[in-house]
Amino acid sequence: MLAWILTPLAVLLVVPAALYAWTRLRPHAVRTEIEIAVSPERVWRVLTDFAAYPEWNPFIVSAEGEPRAGATLTNRLSNNGGTMTFSPTVLAAVPARELRWIGRFVMPGVVDGEHYFVIEDLGGGRTRLVHGETFTGALVPFAGGALDVEGGFAAMNAALKARAEQAA
């Protein structure tokens, strides 16, 4: 009788833990990049001017908060015909170098997305922006198209490039 209770309970605990461990070893990763003909400082200013996002950003259509490690942001995404609001925690905010945050669905380990912008100085007033996200968690293998964000990242990159170069 006890086996009838413990077996389903073990499955409910072991399967999600195994899926989480699998995605830590083989995460779903998206990586994009673009070259921008302005300084890293200019890219940083555009990237972290959250109040201006509604004016130019087709992917993160609004963002509130401070680009400071430990801060909580409120971001609204528009992707694949839908919108979503989430509140990630900033992990790193190094001016003209890196902005990184982690967003979680429901609770840690279900679907975690570590989003990053790495700003590389190419010299001569040129910058490479590397923009990506690494998804881990027990539901990642089942998320399907919900994690199809590469097009949104590319659209944001192109819009950031246009805005930064226009104001330069």
Quick one: pLDDT at residue 10? 54
CATH code for the domain in which residue 116 is found: 3.30.530.20
User: How crowded is residue 29: how many other Cβ atoms within 10 Å of its Cβ?
Assistant: 12
Retrieve residue 160's tokens: 């950031």
Residue 96 lies in domain: 2-167
Q: What is the distance of C-alpha 73 from the center of its chain?
A: 12
The pLDDT score that the predictor gives to residue 1 is: 53
Answer whether residue 145 shows pLDDT above 80.
no
Task: Report residue 67: phi and psi, to 5°.
Answer: -80, 80
Looking at the 3D structure of the chain, how many domains does it have? Answer: 1
In this predicted model, what pLDDT tens digit does every residue of 29-52 receive, in sequence order?
Answer: 999 999 999 999 999 999 999 999
Beta bridge partners of 155: none
The mean-pLDDT minimum among 5-14, 25-34, 119-128 falls in 5-14
Bigger pLDDT: 8 vs 115: 115
Phi-psi group of 86: left, alpha or beta (phi > 0 → left; psi -120 to 50 → alpha; rest → beta): beta
Instruction: State pLDDT tens for residues 58-117.
Output: 999 999 999 999 999 999 999 888 899 999 999 999 999 999 999 998 888 889 999 999
DSSP 95: T
Condensed to tens digits (0 to 9), the pLDDT of residues 149-168 reads: 999 999 999 999 999 999 66
**3-state SS assignment for residue 101:** strand
Q: What is the DSSP string of 41-87?
A: HHHHHHHH-GGGHHHH-SSEEEEES-SSTT-B-EEEEEETTEEEEE-
pLDDT for the residue numbered 151: 94
Count other C-beta atoms under 10 Å from residue 141's C-beta. Answer: 12
pLDDT at 5: 60
pLDDT value for 79: 84
Q: How far apart are CA 153 and CA 40, in angstroms?
A: 19
Copy the structure tokens of residue 107.
Answer: 């609770």
